[in-house]
């Protein structure tokens, strides 16, 4: 977090990961040929290999591996609670770096990335694209300060569901320090549209353990409510409630088949990225038969 530029931070994290770990399960126009197959009526005649027809008088369809068809939408929470940080940097900065890292990584792979920031309402939306300047635009949007106060998790999910038509990967980055009652329904709706969802819960170590010593007037960053609190006395009750909240979130994700990542802000981002990719590959293998190629061909 000591590097000021978000892009440079993301680039530093991605260093060492670029080794072609990721292959697209989709087929389309690309330079990388995979195989021929027999033409069947209904196939797109654009993919006929006319040279083979001239030579053999048979209709053969040419197949390529499409490496640019993954669309990833990054949903980042920018509410006030994300501005808390006890380790020199805030959760918002950590979340922004994480998001930038993912975006940069996907960009390097040639995937299209989009961004949606939110607090109590949707603030910025960038459609998923892979073109020159788009990554920089995305970084700027991430760096832009938010004017929002509270967190509403349902609104951005509802919005993204209505916005994206094509199947995509949706990564939701938030501290989830808000009621999660409405969240399940929205996630189900998103999954029903065929989108793959990943949840990143970013938390400060002080939130995880209520690691504060001095009694003081505590002020809620979102509601500005104040409370006199002796952390030593309140710790047990806090830990109980907090653990229950996190467990409920985790259980919901498991139930919906959503990958859940709990990230503490003192945890290196590389670890987070590694866990994410590992999970992605595992899940990719698991879910690949269910996806269809954009050219109408079936996945291998």
Which residues here bind other proteins, judged by CB under 8 A?
81-84, 91, 175, 177-178, 204, 207, 212-223, 225-230, 233-234, 237-238, 241-242, 245
Listing DSSP states for 175-215 in one string gives: ---S--TTHHHHHHHHHHTT-EEEEEEEE-HHHHHT---S-
Shortest gap between Cβ of 146 and other proteins (angstroms)? 14
Report in angstroms how near the CB of residue 290 gets to other proteins at its nearest: 38
The CA-based angle 17-22-26, given to 5 degrees, is 160
How far apart are the C-alpha atoms of 289 and 270, rounded to whole Å? 30
Q: Which is nearer to other proteins, 56 or 243 (CB)?
A: 243
Shortest CB 235 distance to other proteins, Å = 10
Q: How far is the CB of 81 from other proteins (least distance, A)?
A: 4
For helices 6-14 and 134-143, angle between their N-to-C axes, nearest 10 degrees:
120
Q: Helices 154-163 and 183-192: crossing angle, nearest 10°?
A: 20
Greatest C-alpha distance within the chain:
85
Q: Pairing relation of β-strands 112-118 and 122-129?
A: antiparallel
Which residue number, 93 or 126, has a Cβ lying nearer to other proteins? Answer: 93
- Nearest approach, Cβ of 95 to other proteins (angstroms)? 12
Torsion sign across C-alpha atoms 4, 7, 8, 14: positive
Q: Which is nearer to other proteins, 57 or 224 (CB)?
A: 224
Q: Which is nearer to other proteins, 16 or 88 (CB)?
A: 88
Q: Which is nearer to other proteins, 239 or 299 (CB)?
A: 239
């Amino acid at each position: 977090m000591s590097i000021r530029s978000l892009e440079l931070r993301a680039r530093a994290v991605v260093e060492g990961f670029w080794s072609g770990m990721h292959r697209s399960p989709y087929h389309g126009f690309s330079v990388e040929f995979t195989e021929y197959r027999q033409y069947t009526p209904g196939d797109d005649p654009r993919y006929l290999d006319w040279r083979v027809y001239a030579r053999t008088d048979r209709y053969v369809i040419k197949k390529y591996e499409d490496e640019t068809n993954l669309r990833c939408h990054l949903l980042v929470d920018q509410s006030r609670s994300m501005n808390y940080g006890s380790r020199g940097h805030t959760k918002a900065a950590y979340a922004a770096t994480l998001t930038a890292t993912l975006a940069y990584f996907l960009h390097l792979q040639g995937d299209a990335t989009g961004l949606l920031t939110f607090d109590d309402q949707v603030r910025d939306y960038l459609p998923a694209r892979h073109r020159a300047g788009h990554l920089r635009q995305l970084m700027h949007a991430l760096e832009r300060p938010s004017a929002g106060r509270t967190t509403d998790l349902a609104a951005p999910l509802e919005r993204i569901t209505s916005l994206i038509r094509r199947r995509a990967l949706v990564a939701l980055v938030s501290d989830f320090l808000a009621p999660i009652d409405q969240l399940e329904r929205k996630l189900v709706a998103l999954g029903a549209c065929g989108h793959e969802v990943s949840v990143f819960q970013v938390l400060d170590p002080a939130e995880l353990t209520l690691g504060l010593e001095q009694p003081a007037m505590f002020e809620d960053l979102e509601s500005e409510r104040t409370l006199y609190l002796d952390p030593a006395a309140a710790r047990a009750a806090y830990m109980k409630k907090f653990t229950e909240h996190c467990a409920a979130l985790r259980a919901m994700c498991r139930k919906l088949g959503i990958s859940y990542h709990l990230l503490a802000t003192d945890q290196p981002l590389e670890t987070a990225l590694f866990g994410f990719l590992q999970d992605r590959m595992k899940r990719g293998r698991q879910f690949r038969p269910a996806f269809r190629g954009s050219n109408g061909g079936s996945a291998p």
